[in-house]
Homo-oligomer: A and B are copies of this chain.
Amino acid sequence: MFKILDCTIRDGGYYTNWDFNKVTVSEYISAMNNLPVDYLEIGYRSMPMSGYLGKYFYSPIYELEELRQQSSRKLVIILNERDVKPEHLNDLLLPIVGLIDMVRLAIDPQNLGSAIKLAEVIKKMGFEVGFNVMYMSKWKLYNDFIENLRGIDGIADYFYMVDSYGGVYPQDVIETIDLVRKYTNCRLGFHGHNNLELALVNSLTAVEHGAEIIDATILGMGRGAGNLKTELLLSVLNTKFDIQLDFNALEKAVNAFEPLLDKHKWGTNLPYMISGSNSLPQKEVMDWVTTRFYSFNSIIRALQNQRNKIKDNQQLPLFKPSKTYKKAVIIGGGPNAEEHSKAVMQFIGNGNGETCIIHASAKNAKKYQELAVDQFYCLVGNEGQRLETVFKGLGTFDAQCVLPPYPRKMGTYIPAQVTDKSFELSQIDFTTQVNDSHTVLALQTAIKLGAQQVYIAGYDGYNEVPLTELERTLVGENEHLFDAFQQYTGITLYSLTPTKYKSLSIQSIYSLI
């Protein structure tokens, strides 16, 4: 029979910042005492790092002592090889000799050499040593890695293949095992991620081909899309391998973490599936999907181009406006740009050739289309699709579109009808922090258009408190951009409509008409 290592606390910590309440941990430990699980990985050990990281990122001695008393299982901690130098090992590990049975190292395959040096010291301290080597799908690309593999026998007790991207298939597992087996006799392990719901079948395949230890976590709790679910592995063992199982204990373990699942909602979903099937870091995909307004198609095209090493965006003619405007009115995507559109339109009037409109988003643009003033559109994220929707196929659309400076992080969709009206900015003058948001584009366009007065409508901010993390990020970014713009240009930004933004001055539209 193969062994099982449950790393719920360690890997689940990515969602809780490594804090878990006492009751959860106790219920977990006591359930595990009644389940056929061999090792419990309960946290990291780490030298002091900046920022708040919780209890199980540092795993203080008093906690390990308590767990050692409660648990009848072998206990494991893990070190990030990247962050640990040989001179740290005494501090990190001497105090836990006798409390902890195995020390694992999370290892970038390109650092296997230095990991072996660390491991020699750890081994001498009397610990079992586990190598958790990441990015298994890339191993065959690294010659150094292959060479170093020969050096692990006698040092690593377990050599784990980690499917970091959650993108490997059973056939890949078999091929990786075949590769590794050429160079080492070390006992093999497998740590699967569940992006493509293949964690179970990959783990069973690994076992079938000789792996002797499998990682799992309760409810799959773990970074990104999460891991092989301990309850799934055990249910399958019970029927497929006839292993006796205390289902009440298993239920208790599951129940202990269910409130956390309700709160943090880990597990696979479309973005994780995409990052998995493209073997791309899920962190990047999630950042793009959740904190930016790029269209899914742009993100995926960018990711796939990145994978295929294709440069994914074309260089456009530079944005060089033929005239300048005294006033620019920036229209945002908030409901107030529609709510107060009559007044804003009256304020703009025919513009006397002195006023232009800059649409940070096309969301409210249809309302303003009838105005006979020059209008500019910021083309970023999924604004290309939005233009098509708002202007029903763009048959009547006749205005210039402004894109971020080249090279853009990902291809921006430009509808065919506006390609000849699309231009890119040469650079962003007033900030270095952002170069591709709706707001930065709109403000830089105002600069390029020579505007001396800049008004804003439809930047409402968010009403619901508490803000989501995405909203907080966007609000913070916009506040920075408004501030930076005003400092750089000396121009005061006036919001004509109600706003929650603190860096905008307010001038009611109704006071101006």
For A360, the chain B residues whose CB sits under 8 A away are: none
User: Is the pair A247, B274 in contact by a Cβ cutoff of 8 Å?
Assistant: yes
Q: Interface residues of A, CB < 8 Å — how many? A: 40
Compute how far the CA of A194 lies from the CA of B274 in the bound complex, rounded to whole angstroms: 19
Q: A246-B297, A248-B385, A296-B247 are in contact. Are A235 and B200 (CB under 8 A)?
A: no
The interface residues of chain A, by DSSP majority, are classed as: helix
Asked if A136 is at the interface (CB within 8 A of a chain B CB), the reply is no
Stretch of A57-65, A151-159, A236-244, A330-338 on the interface side: A236-244
A303 to chain B, nearest CB (A): 10
Q: Mask for A378-389, Cβ within 8 A of B = 1, else 0? A: 000010010000
Asked if A232 is at the interface (CB within 8 A of a chain B CB), the reply is yes
Q: A236-B196, A250-B296 are in contact. Are A273 and B201 (CB under 8 A)?
A: no
User: Is the pair A251, B296 in contact by a Cβ cutoff of 8 Å?
Assistant: yes
User: Is the pair B300, A247 in contact by a Cβ cutoff of 8 Å?
Assistant: yes
For A200, the chain B residues whose CB sits under 8 A away are: 196-198
Q: Mask for A197-213, Cβ within 8 A of B = 1, else 0? A: 11111000000000000
Asked if A270 is at the interface (CB within 8 A of a chain B CB), the reply is yes
User: Is the pair A248, B297 in contact by a Cβ cutoff of 8 Å?
Assistant: yes
Q: Which of A428-449 contact B (CB under 8 A)?
A: none
A203 to chain B, nearest CB (A): 11
For A169, the chain B residues whose CB sits under 8 A away are: 240
A residues adjacent to B (C-beta < 8 A): 169-170, 194, 196-201, 229, 231-232, 235-236, 238-240, 245-248, 250-251, 254, 268-270, 273-274, 276-278, 295-297, 299-300, 304, 382, 385
Known: A232-B268, A247-B295, A254-B270. 19 other contacts (CB 8 A): A170-B201, A194-B197, A197-B197, A198-B200, A198-B201, A235-B273, A235-B274, A235-B276, A235-B277, A236-B273, A238-B277, A238-B300, A239-B278, A239-B304, A247-B296, A248-B382, A250-B270, A251-B270, A251-B296
Closest 4 CB pairs of A and B: A247-B296, A239-B277, A235-B273, A197-B197
